[in-house]
């Protein structure tokens, strides 16, 4: 495959051809940064792990050059950080037995610019080569602008596909903003209660972030545990570890839907629920 940047790469952990690795993909996660995949897509990684008929492929869109750094990484240049973060992402793909790991090497500025067609073109090529059943990306209420930019580029690519080539579901997942505020009936609930050791290993390989001062490993696992504990107030927990997603499938299937209004609908319905509950106990 030819991508916009010659420095983009496709890593296949088990050594099959790139064509085979992409073609066997059933679950595709498209994320902004190295480690976003492992934070938001534990459930599909677990679902595909050690399975012959389910394969997970990850895509990281940006290059990681602007990552915060401290400790032994404190004096690393942007280019050195880029290389470290690529190496860490390859490690995660190997540990998680991904079908493939694609790194597109874009600067964040290009991803956040809706006038740039190159990211959409690259994502469209990946979608056509993989034809996944499920696509996971960032939720559109995330507070990180690059995350929202990636989600928007993903939707643009998906809307270009004809209906027969589109995945059955598209989910926007938690990273820089939790989705516990969404109405329970509208949450896509992803159960991560198994393979806790694998989840910890996947998060733990990103040493440049963790030892550099951002405990994404503890924060991610803590949020998942909190989601499970606080999901239901009147019953015992049925799961020990949950993450949430926003269903973006209607935005793919109906290009006429306004993206901002679609997301605002979730917020408005949450606001209505709060008002109604307060009124009930007045």
- Residue 176: predicted pLDDT: 95
179 pLDDT more than 80: yes
pLDDT over 80 (residue 144): yes
Total Cβ atoms within 10 A of residue 6: 8
For residue 59, give the H/E element and its range.
Answer: strand 56-62
Is residue 39 within 8 A of residue 156, CB to CB? The reply is: no
pLDDT at residue 234, as a whole number: 65
- Helix H segments across the chain? 18-23, 36-40, 42-48, 78-95, 108-111, 118-130, 145-160, 196-204, 207-210, 216-229, 249-253, 259-280
Q: What is the mean pLDDT of the chain?
A: 95
pLDDT band at 239 (very low <50, low <70, confident <90, very high): confident
CB neighbour list of residue 261: distance below 8 Å, 6 or more residues apart: none
Q: So what's the pLDDT on residue 265?
A: 98
pTM: 0.96
pLDDT > 90 in the chain, percent? 89
Cβ-based neighbour number of residue 111 at 10 Å: 24
Give mean pLDDT, residues 137-164: 97
pLDDT tens-digit profile of 206-233?
A: 999 898 778 999 999 999 999 999 987 6
Count the neighbouring beta carbons within 10 Å of the beta carbon of residue 177: 15
Going from the N-terminus, what domains does the chain have, and what CATH number goes with each?
9-280 (3.40.50.10320)
* Residue 199 near residue 42, CB atoms below 8 Å: yes
Give the Å distances, CA to CA, from 268 to 115, 182, 213.
29, 10, 36
Average pLDDT over residues 181-198: 95
Task: Give the pLDDT confidence of 74-92 residue by residue, as tens digits.
Answer: 888 989 999 999 999 999 9
């Amino acid at each position: 495959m030819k991508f916009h940047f010659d420095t983009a790469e496709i890593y296949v952990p088990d050594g099959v051809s790139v064509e085979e690795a992409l073609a066997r993909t059933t679950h595709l996660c498209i994320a902004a940064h190295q480690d976003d995949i492992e934070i938001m897509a534990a459930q599909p990684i677990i679902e595909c792990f050690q399975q012959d008929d389910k394969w997970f492929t990850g895509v990281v869109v940006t290059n990681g050059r602007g990552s915060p750094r401290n400790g032994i990484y404190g004096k690393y240049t942007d280019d050195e950080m880029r290389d470290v973060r690529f190496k860490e992402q390859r490690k995660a793909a190997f540990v998680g037995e991904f079908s493939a790991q694609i790194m597109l090497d874009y600067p964040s500025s290009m991803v956040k610019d809706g006038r740039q067609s190159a990211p959409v073109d690259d994502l469209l090529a990946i979608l056509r080569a993989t034809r996944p059943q499920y696509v996971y990306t960032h939720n559109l209420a995330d507070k990180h602008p690059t995350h929202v930019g990636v989600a928007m580029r993903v939707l643009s690519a998906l809307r270009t596909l004809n209906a027969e080539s589109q995945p059955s579901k598209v989910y926007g997942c938690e990273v820089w903003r939790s989705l516990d505020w969404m109405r329970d009936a509208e949450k896509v609930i992803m159960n991560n209660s198994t393979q806790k050791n694998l989840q910890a290993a996947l998060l733990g390989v990103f040493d440049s972030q963790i030892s550099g001062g951002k405990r994404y490993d503890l924060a991610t696992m803590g949020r998942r545990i909190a989601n499970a504990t606080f999901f239901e107030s009147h019953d015992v927990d049925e799961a020990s570890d949950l993450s949430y997603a926003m269903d973006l499938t209607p935005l793919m299937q109906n290009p006429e839907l306004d993206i901002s209004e679609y997301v605002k609908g979730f917020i408005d319905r949450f606001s209505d629920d709060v008002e109604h509950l307060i009124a009930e106990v007045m």
